[in-house]
Structure 1
Amino acid sequence: MSMIRPGLRTFLVVSAVLGCLAVTVAFIVRPGSPSAQAWLSGVALSGTATLAGLACGVRAIRVKDDTRSRITWLCFGGTALAWGFAEFSAAAYDVLLRREPPPFSLADVGFLVAGALLVAGLLRMTMPERNNAARARAVVDGLLISAAVLLVGWVSVLGPTVRLNETGFGDKMMLLVYPSGDIALITLATYLVLRTRGDGLKAVLPVEPIAAAVVVFGVADCAFAYLELIGEYRSGHVVDAGWLSAYTLLLIAAVMPQHRRGPESEVVPRQIGLLLPYFFIVVAITVSLVVPEITGIRDETTRWIQAGLILLMVVRQLFSMQENQTLATGLEHRVTERTQELEVSHKRFQALIENSSDVVMMVDREGRILYVSDSVARVFGVRPDIWLDSNIREWLDDASTQKMNEALATTAAQPLGTATLEALAVFPDGRRVTIENTVTNLLDDPAVRAIVVNSRDISERRQLEDELVHQAFHDSLTGLANRALFMDRVRHAMRRRVLGPETVGVLFLDLDGFKEVNDSLGHATGDALLVDVARRLTSCLRPGDTIARLGGDEFAILVEGALTSSEFLSVASRISDCLEAAIVIDGRDLFIRASIGIASAEVGSVTADQLIRNADLAMYRAKERQDGEPALYDPSMHSSLVERLALEAELRKAIADHHLQVHYQPTYVLETGDLVGVEALVRWPHAERGMVRPDLFIPIAEQTGLIHEIGRFVLREACFQGNEWARLAPSVPLSIGVNVSGKQLQRRDFADEVSEALAESGLPADQLVLEMTESVLMNDTDSTMATLKSLKAMGVRVAIDDFGTGYSSLSYLHRFPVDILKIDRSFVDRLSGVDAEDSLVQSIVQLGHTLQLETIAEGIEEHSQLQALRRLGCTMAQGYHFGRPGPADTVSKLVVEASAAVSPLPA
């Protein structure tokens, strides 16, 4: 960037150029008296030099991290200021004092100081070498060239002029000092331009403007010396315009912007730089010998200058020898360092190769091994000498050999071409190792001239990858395919059977009774059972069939190539036969049966997902039948599924919109006919379907978890309604029965729900009867027992619904806090007709009496059933014989009637 602000830089340059032009015109036109001309010249010259000096000083201050440039600018600034002071002093003698200056005045001191500083600045620019010998030799070169030019100038011009001049010796010497110094300056400027034609120095110092200023300055000085010797110079002469131009150029150089620094370089070769002084010496000696012969004039000064040249040549030679020695020493040092670096690099590279996990080989185009790293013994366990001169194909199996041939051919056809392949290496001891090879063509590299093969052992990685893939697509317990792999196999089978009459079939299996085994014997036994079932299923299938465990106790089998559905039934029959024998686990015989659903389809008729879904639907149909026979899929199953999904969505909406209702079925005392209780039953009046049967939507609620919301709704409604009836007829205390599902009872907060409902409704706890089936009580007995104890602590009574249809046992009746047994309607039905059977009902009633439990008969529809129950001693009853379940308003009328008088039982 620029060292001086652009506006100030422009002002200084324009001012200097205009001043130079004005003074030049004034010199030519010569206005006014000689005194005025002298004064104008002195002011212009000293002012321009002062501006240039100040600009160089500012430039030096602004230079960062470059001592050489800073010192150079300071020398040039001191030159300009000293010369400006000298010029002002000379003008003062001439104009103010109106007399000639003395032989050695202040002006001469300023001029000599300016010259010395200018030489120092030029020498600083011309000595970029780093060692002292080179710097000294560069100074001597400049002196040699200056002396040679001085010799030519003395023989041709200065000598004759001095001899003709009549001034004293001191004046002549002072006059000769200037041209001698100027010749040296011109020579240094020329040498500077020749040495700095590159961009290294020019990046920080504008060489051309500085050199031009020095040359112009030297020419003006020479002209001044000549005019003084012949007595024709006066202040204000046109020669003064030369000095003015020189300092204007220096000012321009000082305000020029600095360019970005590049690497220092000598454009002039070293040989030319060394020979350049000899060219000037030869020319100077030739001129000094030829001119005296022509003119016949010989003087001592010429011989002294010639002697000085010879002395300088000797000194230069000494410095050159020292420089060469320094260079040779430095070169030897660099060669030694470079050799050591190469040796260290070689050892490092060798250590890396030998200790690398890769084996590096170099082979020719045909695959012959030219080099193999010693790491082959550590990586592959084979000595390196065995590999040399063998063919790389000899170490590979047949399939890998073909891949290696292709890789070598491909890479050899393209410079720097690469290829990566995985191969199986076979070693003499029988080991088979999976290796990864990177093949690189370096045939065109003169240091290699071979194909480089980097090999690494990836057997463990490949084994791990295979294990991960196996785990991703296989069941960890049984080792069978999992759902993802089975789906992929089905999709591939569907694509393979695009043509031909063959069909694809899927058998979906679910183990019956597996949950009971898990719950009663533990998960370890269940896992062992699944493993044995998987083994049996695999043994009874064809090799081409695919068996998978989809999760839990669900299995699926893919059968391909079947022509008729009877073939799928044959596979299902074999499966049933394989599972018929007992499975012995921990000395215990376990028997398991599978519900099997079968779905087959011609290719293109359904997707793989639909085929598996159809088999799943057929399996549920087989499980519902419970006859052990497989079920074939038919479209009606899908329609049923769609209907079920629609019913589920509508049930959710009915719950959210509070469309469900609670109806109540009365319970009567058999002996007296008194109304003693009601059973709360949920009902769903549908706008389009009418009254939806509970056996349709209750199972859906159980499976989807909606039973919790329905059960909570019925419990709260029944409690509030029971409290309403208690206020309506205080003399008729009714028990309110509410059915409880197994999922409700398993909730840890169920007892809290009951307590909250009683507290909010105000219903006494002893009027609430929670009805549950035997299977509900048998599941998760610890948590069930804890919940029942909490309920009993509140005062709530417990009834076993549909007693006799489950796992009836005296032990659980004794353990669980049961208050009421409700006899299932299937037993009550046996009390009527020709073949009436009352032994089961009698046993239940007697059991209730023994355990001091109330008994309630369900589903009474005939008078004969009522008479039989009275005879057997049953306590209470309910059923259509007394009335169908109805809304709360209907039961409220019965409650009002019961409060007035005890109604007789229907005749």
Structure 2
Amino acid sequence: MNRFRFGLQARFLLAAGAALLVVTAIVALMLARQAAAQQEVLRNSIEVVSQVLDESIKERGTALAQGLADSLVNPLYYEDLAAIGALVRNTTAQTSVSYVLVHDAEGNLIHDGSIDVAGYGQPMADPLAHTAVRAQKLLLQQSPSVLEIDLPIHIGDQRIGGLRVGMDLKPVLAQEAAAMRTLSQRLDDSRRRQWLWLTALMAALVAFVSATALYIQRTMVRPIRWLSDAAQRIERGDYQIEEQSTRRGDEISELLRTFNRMSQSIARHDREVRQMAYTDALTGLTNRLAFREALDGRLHEARLAGRSLALLFIDIDEFKRVNDTLGHEAGDDALLQFAQRIANSVDQVGGSEALLSRFGGDEFVILVGDGERSAAEVAAKLAERLVVELGQPLQVQQREIFLGSSIGITLFPEDANGATVLLKNGDIAMYQAKLAGKNCFRYYNRAMDHAVERRLYLEQELRGAWDRGELRLVYQPIFRTRDHMLVGAEVLLRWNHPTLGSIPPSVFIDVAEQSGLIQALGPKVLHAACEQAMQWPRNAAGEEVFISVNVSPRQLRNGDLVGEVETSLHTSGLAASRLHLELTETAVIGDEILAVTLLEKLHRAGVRVWLDDFGTGFSGLSHLRQVPVDGVKIDRSFVADMERDPDDLALTTAIIAMAHALGITVVAEGVEQRAQFELLSQRGCDLVQGYWLGRPLNADALVQLLEHDTAGVPGILA
């Protein structure tokens, strides 16, 4: 059963009906005894007073707006927000001024006199804004409570913005009401003896009107005003609204209770959104967005106080190998351990003002300020501590792995005066730490910019180097150990720049890999090598010589490697058995499922695949059973120390034995001494290459070697 509800509408109708009855009775009595002349005088007087006050407020507001507009020309032109704010606040302080808004030529708010200017740079959206922005000259607009004077602000013929001054009409209305009461009182005095009998009725009317006004104020106006103020605060982003308690059962009270619940829900949702927006989900550290906002604020404070700051840019060395070999869950575990070690070091060395953030991936950034020690000193000690701590082994999935970190340090204001440049300098210094051998830290200096510019220049020049004929192919001979016969050649890429001269492969291949140019160069090298191999004669044993081509990890993962190989073989006419592809061990095991699929397709096409730099990755010998490869190339670092290091000799022997047990060919690279060749030959290594056996040759020299050589390695192994 619905309970009767004495709601707001019923209250208002009852009060209005009672007021109507009382007013009707009073008016009926007054009209009978009031002279028409007195009524006309009263009405005319009220109109005159209203007109005078309106003209007064318009003249005052116009003069105030014109003076303020003239004062704002220079600050607005030079975007001096402090000066604009001072002028606006001085004007707003006047009792008759409701608000002052300064906007640009497009209608975007520049200043409203507040400290934080919450709507700065945003379009004004109030009902009077559209007309005010379009005003070409002085314009007056009026609402029930405000008289607004709008003025465009010009410098010469150029409009640079506008001014909106809102004059509060409440004092005017109050003066009009006061004037009306005064006039009514004087008329009452003149009519007192005639209208004495109306005194009681008028007193009753005043009391009734006052009670009604008080009642409406308490039950309607005050709650609605609170709702309006609270909605404006929420609109400005202030969700800390004081709860309004009420026990009444009318619509306004129910609206208040609903609004209380809504504001609490919005505040809770805002906290959750900010938590997600400003926190890294994996580590719980502040993220890039939060750090950038904090960095802007810290830089501003440091400028004002004349303090220095230091920024450390940290990148984990070889972290990609963890994801590639152990999986992303292991990578997340490693990141959490690194984040904890970094946080502990920051707490112990960085000082109370240090700010730590994860920028994404394996990048962390730390901001330290100068307290008892200088920022540079704190950064140096913290970097030394981090290099040691992050170089310690990690326990991931019951495995012990060693990674390390490269750290770049840049200082404010010595190196940069803004957040963007400071972060860029930290990144550059970190990259230099990687080039210096990793697991170390480097300070930013101006020379690093030149290194970056040189790298960008090399990337730009490399884009057209093949078409300009600057890149050429050379071939390093590969010999069979049992009969010293030349059986193949590895194709190598060389770059002779017209102004920079010969650029080492270690430099431009790295540029090609990181820029993605290798995906365009790789197929060209493959096609050219196949074309050249077709011109080679047979070796002294009458065998066809194979060509070995290196394949980039990018080609393996992102390109159509099988299609490129089939196209090169088809257009060149080279037999598939003569093409050997070399893939790095880490590239193959980085995505083993993809690698196995591609290698099986290559095998079906008749192409052979070798694992290059074998022994340097995480995989060890176990992956030889899972990945279908035809051969492995023992990394030159093991060959170089076989004579002096028993461990390297034992590992090389084990690789050869394991590979042969699986039916896999073994190639040793970097053979530069006769003793190395003999050790490899004694252990059954199938193929060898290196400077002692033969340096890289151009195509013509290799053809001549094949045509005239009848004893394998001329003059060396005979």
Do the structures match in fold with TM over 0.5? yes
Any unmatched runs of 5+ in structure 2?
A: 1-8, 17-88, 102-111, 115-144, 147-167, 179-212, 240-262
1:696 is the counterpart of 2:501: no
TM (norm. structure 2) is 0.59
Q: Give, in angstroms, the shift of residue 568 of structure 1.
A: 1.3
Q: Give, in angstroms, the shift of residue 512 of structure 1.
A: 3.8
Q: Give, in angstroms, the shift of residue 493 of structure 1.
A: 3.6
In structure 2, distance between residues paired with 1:536 and 1:841: 37
Match of 1:455 among 202, 226, 229: 226
Any unmatched runs of 5+ in structure 1?
A: 1-342, 351-405, 423-437
Which amino acid in structure 2 is aligned with residue 560 of structure 1?
Answer: G
In structure 2, distance between residues paired with 1:719 and 1:525: 41
1:548 is the counterpart of 2:357: yes
Which amino acid in structure 2 is aligned with residue 556 of structure 1?
Answer: V
Contact 2:538-2:545 within 8 A present in 1 as well: no
Contact 1:497-1:603 within 8 A present in 2 as well: no
Contact 1:799-1:819 within 8 A present in 2 as well: yes
Q: Give, in angstroms, the shift of residue 510 of structure 1.
A: 1.9
Query: Tell me, what secondary structure is at the counterpart of 2:512?
Result: helix
In structure 2, distance between residues paired with 1:727 and 1:588: 50
1:763 is the counterpart of 2:446: no
Encode CA deviations 1:812-832: one digit per residue, 9 max, x unaligned. Answer: 112222222222223333355
Query: Tell me, what secondary structure is at the counterpart of 1:724?
Result: coil
Match of 2:675 among 864, 867, 874: 864
Query: Tell me, what secondary structure is at the counterpart of 1:745?
Result: helix
In structure 2, distance between residues paired with 1:837 and 1:782: 31
1:507 is the counterpart of 2:296: no
Question: Which is worse superposed, 847-856 or 832-841?
Answer: 832-841
Superposed counterparts of 1:552-631, under 5 Å: 552-561=361-370, 562-563=373-374, 565-573=376-384, 575=386, 593-602=404-413, 606-625=417-436, 628-631=439-442
Identity in percent = 35
In structure 2, distance between residues paired with 1:416 and 1:709: 64
In structure 2, distance between residues paired with 1:739 and 1:573: 39
Match of 1:714 among 522, 525, 545: 525
What residue number does 1:111 align with? none
- Residues 496 and 754 (structure 1), Cα distance of their counterparts in 2 relative to 1, 3 Å cut: same
Q: Give, in angstroms, the shift of residue 445 of structure 1.
A: 4.7
In structure 1, distance between residues paired with 2:608 and 2:589: 18
Match of 2:96 among 413, 417, 436: 413
Match of 2:291 among 486, 492, 505: 486
In structure 1, distance between residues paired with 2:288 and 2:377: 26
- Residues 448 and 481 (structure 1), Cα distance of their counterparts in 2 relative to 1, 3 Å cut: farther
1:742 is the counterpart of 2:425: no
Contact 2:473-2:494 within 8 A present in 1 as well: yes
- Residues 511 and 662 (structure 1), Cα distance of their counterparts in 2 relative to 1, 3 Å cut: same
What residue number does 2:122 align with? none
In structure 1, distance between residues paired with 2:285 and 2:575: 58
1:779 is the counterpart of 2:462: no
Query: Tell me, what secondary structure is at the counterpart of 1:630?
Result: strand
Superposed counterparts of 1:333-732, under 5 Å: 347=13, 413=96, 442=170, 445=173, 454-456=225-227, 457=230, 458=234, 459=239, 460=263, 461=266, 473-498=278-303, 502-512=307-317, 514-519=319-324, 522-523=327-328, 526-527=331-332, 530=335, 534=339, 537-538=342-343, 540=347, 541-561=350-370, 562-563=373-374, 565-573=376-384, 575=386, 593-602=404-413, 606-625=417-436, 628-725=439-536, 731-732=542-543
Match of 1:842 among 653, 669, 673: 653
Which amino acid in structure 2 is aligned with residue 565 of structure 1?
Answer: A
In structure 2, distance between residues paired with 1:563 and 1:530: 30
Query: Tell me, what secondary structure is at the counterpart of 2:535?
Result: helix
Superposed counterparts of 1:808-819, under 5 Å: 809-819=620-630
In structure 2, distance between residues paired with 1:784 and 1:706: 21
Greater fraction helix: 1
- Residues 736 and 753 (structure 1), Cα distance of their counterparts in 2 relative to 1, 3 Å cut: same
Contact 1:673-1:904 within 8 A present in 2 as well: no
Contact 1:494-1:603 within 8 A present in 2 as well: no
In structure 2, distance between residues paired with 1:592 and 1:882: 36
Q: Give, in angstroms, the shift of residue 508 of structure 1.
A: 1.0
Contact 2:667-2:686 within 8 A present in 1 as well: yes
What residue number does 2:150 align with? none
In structure 2, distance between residues paired with 1:655 and 1:793: 31
In structure 2, distance between residues paired with 1:720 and 1:412: 91
In structure 1, distance between residues paired with 2:553 and 2:492: 17
Q: Give, in angstroms, the shift of residue 763 of structure 1.
A: 0.6
In structure 2, distance between residues paired with 1:415 and 1:567: 52
Q: Work out the number of aligned pairs and report it.
A: 495
In structure 1, distance between residues paired with 2:434 and 2:113: 53
TM (norm. structure 1) is 0.48
Encode CA deviations 1:265-289: one digit per residue, 9 max, x unaligned. Answer: xxxxxxxxxxxxxxxxxxxxxxxxx
In structure 1, distance between residues paired with 2:15 and 2:403: 68
- Residues 477 and 882 (structure 1), Cα distance of their counterparts in 2 relative to 1, 3 Å cut: closer
Of structures 1 and 2, the one with the larger relative CO (CA 8 A, separation 6+) is 2
Encode CA deviations 1:644-681: one digit per residue, 9 max, x unaligned. Answer: 12211111121353431111111122232322111111
Contact 1:766-1:796 within 8 A present in 2 as well: yes
Contact 1:502-1:563 within 8 A present in 2 as well: no
Which amino acid in structure 1 is aligned with residue 518 of structure 2?
Answer: I
- Residues 668 and 504 (structure 1), Cα distance of their counterparts in 2 relative to 1, 3 Å cut: same
In structure 1, distance between residues paired with 2:473 and 2:684: 31
Q: Give, in angstroms, the shift of residue 526 of structure 1.
A: 4.4
Contact 1:672-1:904 within 8 A present in 2 as well: no
- Residues 772 and 441 (structure 1), Cα distance of their counterparts in 2 relative to 1, 3 Å cut: same
Contact 2:405-2:438 within 8 A present in 1 as well: no
Query: Highest Rg: 1 or 2?
Result: 1
Root mean square deviation, CA, Å = 4.4
Which amino acid in structure 2 is aligned with residue 755 of structure 1?
Answer: E
In structure 1, distance between residues paired with 2:644 and 2:285: 56
Which amino acid in structure 1 is aligned with residue 579 of structure 2?
Answer: L
Encode CA deviations 1:419-472: one digit per residue, 9 max, x unaligned. Answer: x999xxxxxxxxxxxxxxx99764655899999762224433566566656655
Question: Which is worse superposed, 453-462 or 854-863?
Answer: 453-462
Superposed counterparts of 1:78-93, under 5 Å: none
Which amino acid in structure 1 is aligned with residue 449 of structure 2?
Answer: H
In structure 1, distance between residues paired with 2:399 and 2:655: 33
In structure 2, distance between residues paired with 1:727 and 1:643: 44
What residue number does 1:895 align with? 706
